[in-house]
Structure formats: structure tokens, C-alpha cells
Amino acid sequence: MPQIIPIKDLKNTAEISEMCHAVSEPIYITKNGYGDMVLMSMETYEAHYNKEKIYRELEISEQQIKEGRVLDAKEALNTLKEKYDL
């Protein structure tokens, strides 16, 4: 369940930091009862960022497959071997 805290609680930085590291999801900050910001630990941010990066690469790959821009596996390996002198 997502954690939601009011913006006035941000003055307790050590407590907020502990909260961010205790959960692997964002903490939602409200201002005047409305969503305002999201906080998360660096580990959580990096995990989300890396997951998004993988999804983007998969979308590009799927588009290339639809467009017929594919290589035979042996061709691809030979290209890599030539490129890196393996």
C-alpha cells in the first residue's frame, strides 16, 4: 500500500530517509490535501529507471521486428566477431 505524507512532515529528514529505504516504492507527498511530489530511495529510483530502460529497448526491438529489420543469429554473431576482432 502506498505511503502518503503531508509536506509539513518533510522537516523530519532522518525519519523520511528511513521510510524511503524501508520500502521499495515511492512515498507520495501531499500539499493542501493534493498530490504534490514523490520521494524514493536511490536504490528504488535506479531499479525503476533500469526497468524503464529495458522496456524502451524491448519496444525498439519489437518495432524492428515488425519492420523486418532482423538478422540471422549466425550473421549477428559474425558481425560482432568482426567488429570486436574475436
How does pLDDT run across 1-20, given as a tens digit for each residue? 889 999 999 999 999 999 99
Higher pLDDT, 33 or 2: 33
> Which amino acid is located at 41 in the chain?
S
Residue 7 pLDDT: 95
Q: What integer best gives the mean pLDDT of the chain?
A: 94
- Span 53-80, average pLDDT: 93
Residue 71 pLDDT: 85
The three grid cell numbers given for residue 33, joined into one nine-digit string: 490535501
Bridge partners (DSSP) listed for residue 39: 27
The Cα 80–Cα 75 span in angstroms is 9
pTM of the shown model? 0.69
Distance of CA 63 to the CA centre of its chain: 21
